[in-house]
Amino acid sequence: MSSRMQQLHRPYRMRAIWLVLGALLVSASAWAQEVPVGSLNAATLQGKSGAESPPPAPTWDQRLRRIASDFMGTRYRLGGSSQDTGLDCSGLIKQIWQRLGLADLPHQAANMARLGVPVQLRDIQVGDLVFFNTTGKQNSHVGVYIGDGRFVHASSVLKKVTENSLSEGYYQKTFNGIRRLAGVNTVADASAISE
């Protein structure tokens, strides 16, 4: 082809290149609108045929905290064992253990204090039971440890299920000890507990 002919075809070639680039940009823009930014993952890139992996199962700590939080604000009732009608301290612990699918516990703090093994405060774990002398009798009150120095219990003073710190003066003064219900509330046992 002569150089004169090449010069005549050059504008057409450039126009064709620009048209192809424009078409690519339009289709890329349309694709971006269909797939929101941030939603690209392996399943999107491979097509929608791949099954999504299920979310990880909650840990023992997470499950216990979530269940304990479900009782927050429930009214206190001496001898109570129902969230609907009211709970006392041991009734609350019984209900939490039942929702976790664990052993049925006796309905008195003093009886619960006979179960499991004693634990030093420095070794406390989520799910350990904390006991107090609030009536002049040992182990007359019980709560469940939820981490960060805090425990959940049914308070006869506040007349509801609440959360407090072990470092509060009243609870330091009345503290009786910690029991771990061996075999039912350790992290190692969490995998055996069904949701």
Q: Which of 141, 146, 171, 176 is catalytic?
A: 141
Q: Which of 89, 112, 129, 161 is catalytic?
A: 89
Query: Nearest 5°: CA angle at 55, between 52 and 61?
Result: 170
Q: Which of 65, 153, 179, 180 is catalytic?
A: 153
Active site residue 9: no
Q: What is the DSSP string of the chain?
A: --HHHHHHHHHHHHHHHHHHHHHHHHHHHHHHHHS-TT---HHHHH-TTSPPPPPPPPPHHHHHHHHHHHTTTPBB-TT-EETTTEE-HHHHHHHHHHHTT-PPPPSSHHHHTTSSEEE-GGG--TT-EEEE-SSSSTT-EEEEEEETTEEEEEETTTTEEEEEETTSHHHHHHEEEEEE-TTTSSGGGGGGS--
Active site residue 141: yes
Active site residue 45: no
Catalytic positions, written as ranges: 89, 141, 153
